[in-house]
Structure 1
Amino acid sequence: MIEIVIASIFALIAAFFLTVGAMAWSGKLHGNSKVGLQVPEVRDSEEIWYKAHRVSGPWWVNAGLAFAFTAAFALKGFWVFTILGVVVAIGLVSVGSNLGARAANILESKEATKEAPAQVDLDAVRRAAGGQ
Protein backbone atom coordinates (compact mmCIF):
# COMPACT_ATOMS: atom_id res chain seq x y z
CA MET A 1 0.00 0.00 0.00
CA ILE A 2 2.76 2.47 0.91
CA GLU A 3 4.44 1.72 -2.42
CA ILE A 4 1.35 2.91 -4.30
CA VAL A 5 1.13 6.15 -2.33
CA ILE A 6 4.81 6.97 -2.76
CA ALA A 7 4.76 5.99 -6.45
CA SER A 8 1.71 8.22 -7.00
CA ILE A 9 3.44 11.18 -5.39
CA PHE A 10 6.52 10.71 -7.55
CA ALA A 11 4.32 10.30 -10.64
CA LEU A 12 2.66 13.65 -9.92
CA ILE A 13 6.04 15.30 -9.41
CA ALA A 14 7.22 13.73 -12.68
CA ALA A 15 4.18 15.07 -14.54
CA PHE A 16 4.82 18.53 -13.09
CA PHE A 17 8.48 18.66 -14.15
CA LEU A 18 7.77 17.15 -17.57
CA THR A 19 5.07 19.74 -18.22
CA VAL A 20 6.95 22.76 -16.90
CA GLY A 21 10.20 21.63 -18.50
CA ALA A 22 8.58 21.10 -21.89
CA MET A 23 6.86 24.48 -21.72
CA ALA A 24 10.10 26.21 -20.71
CA TRP A 25 12.11 24.41 -23.39
CA SER A 26 9.62 25.33 -26.12
CA GLY A 27 9.33 28.96 -25.00
CA LYS A 28 5.68 28.63 -23.94
CA LEU A 29 6.21 29.19 -20.21
CA HIS A 30 5.03 32.75 -19.79
CA GLY A 31 6.46 35.00 -17.12
CA ASN A 32 4.85 34.43 -13.74
CA SER A 33 5.72 34.50 -10.06
CA LYS A 34 4.77 30.89 -9.26
CA VAL A 35 6.60 28.54 -11.65
CA GLY A 36 10.05 28.91 -13.14
CA LEU A 37 13.28 30.61 -12.22
CA GLN A 38 12.85 33.01 -9.32
CA VAL A 39 15.94 35.21 -9.65
CA PRO A 40 15.82 38.98 -10.24
CA GLU A 41 17.78 38.84 -13.51
CA VAL A 42 15.13 36.64 -15.12
CA ARG A 43 12.46 39.21 -14.42
CA ASP A 44 14.34 42.09 -16.09
CA SER A 45 12.89 41.44 -19.51
CA GLU A 46 10.66 39.03 -21.36
CA GLU A 47 13.52 38.06 -23.68
CA ILE A 48 15.75 37.09 -20.74
CA TRP A 49 12.87 35.10 -19.20
CA TYR A 50 12.40 32.99 -22.31
CA LYS A 51 16.10 32.47 -23.03
CA ALA A 52 16.93 31.49 -19.46
CA HIS A 53 14.04 29.02 -19.37
CA ARG A 54 15.09 27.52 -22.70
CA VAL A 55 18.38 26.69 -20.99
CA SER A 56 16.66 25.19 -17.92
CA GLY A 57 13.89 23.35 -19.77
CA PRO A 58 15.82 20.29 -21.02
CA TRP A 59 17.23 19.69 -17.55
CA TRP A 60 13.76 19.88 -16.01
CA VAL A 61 12.38 17.44 -18.59
CA ASN A 62 15.15 15.00 -17.70
CA ALA A 63 14.33 15.51 -14.02
CA GLY A 64 10.73 14.62 -14.82
CA LEU A 65 11.90 11.44 -16.51
CA ALA A 66 14.05 10.62 -13.49
CA PHE A 67 11.03 11.12 -11.21
CA ALA A 68 8.99 8.84 -13.50
CA PHE A 69 11.60 6.09 -13.15
CA THR A 70 11.63 6.78 -9.42
CA ALA A 71 7.87 6.24 -9.31
CA ALA A 72 8.29 2.91 -11.10
CA PHE A 73 11.01 1.83 -8.68
CA ALA A 74 8.88 2.84 -5.70
CA LEU A 75 5.94 0.88 -7.07
CA LYS A 76 8.10 -2.25 -7.22
CA GLY A 77 9.59 -1.61 -3.79
CA PHE A 78 13.16 -1.06 -5.00
CA TRP A 79 13.95 1.51 -2.32
CA VAL A 80 17.66 1.89 -3.08
CA PHE A 81 16.86 2.81 -6.68
CA THR A 82 14.01 5.03 -5.51
CA ILE A 83 16.35 7.05 -3.31
CA LEU A 84 18.98 7.17 -6.05
CA GLY A 85 16.34 8.38 -8.52
CA VAL A 86 15.27 11.17 -6.17
CA VAL A 87 18.89 12.30 -5.75
CA VAL A 88 19.46 12.28 -9.52
CA ALA A 89 16.21 14.15 -10.20
CA ILE A 90 16.94 16.82 -7.60
CA GLY A 91 20.45 17.17 -9.05
CA LEU A 92 19.02 17.68 -12.55
CA VAL A 93 16.59 20.33 -11.31
CA SER A 94 19.43 22.08 -9.49
CA VAL A 95 21.82 22.05 -12.43
CA GLY A 96 19.11 23.26 -14.82
CA SER A 97 18.09 26.08 -12.50
CA ASN A 98 21.70 27.08 -11.94
CA LEU A 99 22.45 27.17 -15.66
CA GLY A 100 19.28 29.14 -16.36
CA ALA A 101 20.11 31.68 -13.65
CA ARG A 102 23.67 32.02 -14.99
CA ALA A 103 22.34 32.52 -18.51
CA ALA A 104 19.98 35.21 -17.21
CA ASN A 105 22.85 36.93 -15.40
CA ILE A 106 25.00 36.94 -18.54
CA LEU A 107 22.14 38.18 -20.72
CA GLU A 108 21.23 40.87 -18.18
CA SER A 109 24.80 42.15 -18.00
CA LYS A 110 25.05 42.23 -21.81
CA GLU A 111 21.75 44.07 -22.00
CA ALA A 112 22.87 46.59 -19.38
CA THR A 113 26.11 47.39 -21.22
CA LYS A 114 24.24 47.65 -24.52
CA GLU A 115 21.68 50.09 -23.13
CA ALA A 116 24.04 52.39 -21.24
CA PRO A 117 26.18 54.42 -23.65
CA ALA A 118 29.60 55.47 -22.47
CA GLN A 119 29.62 58.80 -20.67
CA VAL A 120 32.27 61.22 -21.90
CA ASP A 121 33.51 63.95 -19.58
CA LEU A 122 33.81 66.83 -22.04
CA ASP A 123 35.56 69.09 -19.52
CA ALA A 124 38.30 66.47 -19.04
CA VAL A 125 38.71 66.15 -22.82
CA ARG A 126 39.04 69.95 -23.17
CA ARG A 127 41.59 70.12 -20.35
CA ALA A 128 43.57 67.30 -21.92
CA ALA A 129 43.51 69.08 -25.28
CA GLY A 130 44.81 72.24 -23.62
CA GLY A 131 41.78 74.38 -24.40
CA GLN A 132 38.99 75.80 -22.31
Structure 2
Amino acid sequence: MNSVVGTILLILAVVLLVVGVLAWRRRLPGNNVIGLRVPEVRTSPEVWAGAHAVAGPVWIFGGIALLFGAIVAYVAFGWLWLIPLAAVFIALYALGAGASAGARTAALLDAEAQDNSSCCSSGGSAQDGAQSGTGSSQPTTPQPQVDLDALRRAARSQD
Protein backbone atom coordinates (compact mmCIF):
# COMPACT_ATOMS: atom_id res chain seq x y z
CA MET A 1 0.00 0.00 0.00
CA ASN A 2 2.78 2.43 0.90
CA SER A 3 4.59 1.96 -2.37
CA VAL A 4 1.43 2.46 -4.45
CA VAL A 5 0.49 5.75 -2.76
CA GLY A 6 4.12 6.89 -2.72
CA THR A 7 4.53 6.17 -6.42
CA ILE A 8 1.31 7.97 -7.35
CA LEU A 9 2.33 11.03 -5.32
CA LEU A 10 5.81 10.89 -6.83
CA ILE A 11 4.45 10.86 -10.39
CA LEU A 12 2.09 13.75 -9.62
CA ALA A 13 4.95 15.68 -7.99
CA VAL A 14 7.19 15.25 -11.02
CA VAL A 15 4.41 16.36 -13.39
CA LEU A 16 3.65 19.42 -11.26
CA LEU A 17 7.33 20.30 -10.97
CA VAL A 18 7.94 19.97 -14.72
CA VAL A 19 4.88 22.06 -15.59
CA GLY A 20 5.82 24.64 -12.95
CA VAL A 21 9.39 24.99 -14.21
CA LEU A 22 8.27 25.23 -17.85
CA ALA A 23 5.67 27.84 -16.93
CA TRP A 24 8.07 29.86 -14.80
CA ARG A 25 10.68 29.92 -17.55
CA ARG A 26 8.04 30.91 -20.13
CA ARG A 27 8.62 27.68 -22.05
CA LEU A 28 5.20 26.06 -21.57
CA PRO A 29 3.76 25.72 -25.08
CA GLY A 30 0.21 26.88 -25.70
CA ASN A 31 -2.05 23.85 -25.53
CA ASN A 32 -5.55 22.76 -24.58
CA VAL A 33 -4.57 20.27 -21.87
CA ILE A 34 -2.05 21.74 -19.42
CA GLY A 35 -2.06 25.29 -18.12
CA LEU A 36 -4.53 28.04 -17.37
CA ARG A 37 -7.85 27.71 -19.11
CA VAL A 38 -9.39 31.17 -18.94
CA PRO A 39 -10.25 33.16 -22.08
CA GLU A 40 -7.87 36.03 -21.27
CA VAL A 41 -4.86 33.68 -21.37
CA ARG A 42 -5.62 32.66 -24.95
CA THR A 43 -5.57 36.21 -26.37
CA SER A 44 -1.86 36.27 -27.25
CA PRO A 45 1.38 34.36 -26.68
CA GLU A 46 2.68 37.20 -24.51
CA VAL A 47 -0.32 36.98 -22.16
CA TRP A 48 0.01 33.17 -22.07
CA ALA A 49 3.69 33.38 -21.12
CA GLY A 50 3.21 36.19 -18.60
CA ALA A 51 0.33 34.50 -16.79
CA HIS A 52 2.14 31.19 -16.57
CA ALA A 53 5.35 32.89 -15.41
CA VAL A 54 3.40 34.13 -12.39
CA ALA A 55 1.73 30.77 -11.72
CA GLY A 56 4.88 28.67 -12.21
CA PRO A 57 6.69 29.34 -8.91
CA VAL A 58 3.56 28.58 -6.90
CA TRP A 59 3.09 25.32 -8.82
CA ILE A 60 6.73 24.44 -8.10
CA PHE A 61 6.03 24.90 -4.39
CA GLY A 62 3.08 22.52 -4.72
CA GLY A 63 5.28 20.00 -6.52
CA ILE A 64 7.86 20.17 -3.74
CA ALA A 65 5.12 19.59 -1.16
CA LEU A 66 3.92 16.54 -3.11
CA LEU A 67 7.48 15.27 -3.41
CA PHE A 68 7.90 15.49 0.36
CA GLY A 69 4.56 13.72 0.84
CA ALA A 70 5.61 10.96 -1.56
CA ILE A 71 8.85 10.34 0.30
CA VAL A 72 7.02 10.12 3.63
CA ALA A 73 4.32 7.88 2.11
CA TYR A 74 6.88 5.17 1.39
CA VAL A 75 7.58 4.76 5.14
CA ALA A 76 4.29 6.01 6.64
CA PHE A 77 2.30 4.05 9.20
CA GLY A 78 -0.41 5.09 11.64
CA TRP A 79 -0.49 8.83 12.29
CA LEU A 80 2.33 9.48 9.82
CA TRP A 81 -0.23 9.20 7.01
CA LEU A 82 -1.35 12.69 7.98
CA ILE A 83 1.87 14.09 6.47
CA PRO A 84 1.20 12.85 2.90
CA LEU A 85 -2.43 13.90 3.30
CA ALA A 86 -1.36 17.40 4.34
CA ALA A 87 1.09 17.48 1.42
CA VAL A 88 -1.75 16.71 -0.99
CA PHE A 89 -3.86 19.53 0.47
CA ILE A 90 -0.93 21.95 0.29
CA ALA A 91 -0.30 20.98 -3.34
CA LEU A 92 -3.97 21.44 -4.24
CA TYR A 93 -4.00 24.84 -2.55
CA ALA A 94 -0.81 25.85 -4.39
CA LEU A 95 -2.29 24.68 -7.68
CA GLY A 96 -5.38 26.83 -7.13
CA ALA A 97 -3.44 29.83 -5.83
CA GLY A 98 -1.08 29.73 -8.81
CA ALA A 99 -4.00 29.47 -11.22
CA SER A 100 -5.72 32.40 -9.52
CA ALA A 101 -2.61 34.57 -9.64
CA GLY A 102 -2.01 33.64 -13.26
CA ALA A 103 -5.61 34.38 -14.24
CA ARG A 104 -5.45 37.79 -12.56
CA THR A 105 -2.20 38.53 -14.36
CA ALA A 106 -3.73 37.45 -17.66
CA ALA A 107 -6.72 39.74 -17.12
CA LEU A 108 -4.42 42.67 -16.35
CA LEU A 109 -2.16 41.98 -19.33
CA ASP A 110 -5.17 41.57 -21.63
CA ALA A 111 -6.72 44.83 -20.43
CA GLU A 112 -3.40 46.62 -20.89
CA ALA A 113 -3.04 45.25 -24.41
CA GLN A 114 -6.57 46.36 -25.30
CA ASP A 115 -5.92 49.84 -23.92
CA ASN A 116 -2.72 50.15 -25.90
CA SER A 117 -4.29 48.92 -29.12
CA SER A 118 -7.26 51.28 -28.89
CA CYS A 119 -5.14 54.29 -27.94
CA CYS A 120 -2.27 54.20 -30.34
CA SER A 121 -3.24 52.17 -33.38
CA SER A 122 -1.81 54.74 -35.83
CA GLY A 123 1.67 54.76 -34.34
CA GLY A 124 1.20 57.73 -32.04
CA SER A 125 -1.24 58.88 -29.48
CA ALA A 126 -4.60 60.24 -30.49
CA GLN A 127 -3.66 63.70 -29.29
CA ASP A 128 -0.47 63.77 -31.41
CA GLY A 129 -2.55 63.59 -34.59
CA ALA A 130 -5.04 66.19 -33.36
CA GLN A 131 -2.31 68.65 -32.40
CA SER A 132 -0.43 68.38 -35.67
CA GLY A 133 -3.59 68.75 -37.71
CA THR A 134 -2.67 65.88 -40.00
CA GLY A 135 -4.38 63.01 -38.22
CA SER A 136 -8.02 62.12 -38.47
CA SER A 137 -10.11 63.23 -35.56
CA GLN A 138 -11.66 60.21 -33.93
CA PRO A 139 -14.60 60.73 -31.60
CA THR A 140 -13.68 59.99 -28.03
CA THR A 141 -16.06 58.75 -25.41
CA PRO A 142 -16.80 61.40 -22.80
CA GLN A 143 -15.35 60.75 -19.39
CA PRO A 144 -17.90 60.64 -16.55
CA GLN A 145 -17.86 63.64 -14.26
CA VAL A 146 -17.60 63.03 -10.53
CA ASP A 147 -19.21 65.44 -8.09
CA LEU A 148 -16.67 65.49 -5.27
CA ASP A 149 -18.85 67.63 -3.00
CA ALA A 150 -21.66 65.09 -3.23
CA LEU A 151 -19.22 62.31 -2.39
CA ARG A 152 -17.95 64.22 0.65
CA ARG A 153 -21.51 64.88 1.86
CA ALA A 154 -22.38 61.20 1.47
CA ALA A 155 -19.26 60.15 3.36
CA ARG A 156 -20.04 62.58 6.19
CA SER A 157 -23.61 61.34 6.46
CA GLN A 158 -22.37 57.75 6.75
CA ASP A 159 -20.02 58.65 9.63
Q: TM-score by structure 1 length?
A: 0.87
**Post-superposition offset of 1:14:** 0.3
After superposition, the C-alpha distances for 1:82-124 in whole angstroms (9 at most, x for unaligned) are 1111111111111111000000001111111111137516xxx
Superposed CA RMSD in Å reads: 1.2
- Asked if residue 17 in structure 1 is aligned to residue 33 in structure 2, the reply is no
After superposition, the C-alpha distances for 1:33-71 in whole angstroms (9 at most, x for unaligned) are 111111100000000000000000001111110110110
1:125 corresponds in structure 2 to none
Say which of 88, 110, 113 aligns to 2:112. 110
The structure with higher relative contact order (CA 8 Å, sep 6+) is 1
Q: TM-score by structure 2 length?
A: 0.73
Distance 1:5 1:43 in 2: 37
1:51 corresponds in structure 2 to 50
State the one-letter code of the partner of 2:41.
Answer: V
1:76 aligned counterpart, secondary structure: coil
1:120 corresponds in structure 2 to 139
1:80 corresponds in structure 2 to 82
Higher helix share: 1
Q: Percent identity at matched positions?
A: 36
State the one-letter code of the partner of 1:88.
Answer: I
Distance 1:22 1:55 in 2: 11
2:28 corresponds in structure 1 to 29
**Post-superposition offset of 1:73:** 1.7
**Regions of 4+ moved over 4 Å:** none
Range that drifts further, 73-82 or 31-40: 73-82
**Post-superposition offset of 1:75:** 1.1
Distance 2:85 2:110 in 1: 37
| Structure with bigger gyration radius | 2
2:33 aligned counterpart, secondary structure: coil
Corresponding pairs, count = 120
**Post-superposition offset of 1:30:** 1.1
**Post-superposition offset of 1:74:** 1.2
- Structure 2 unaligned runs (5+)? 120-125, 127-137, 141-159
Distance 2:113 2:92 in 1: 31
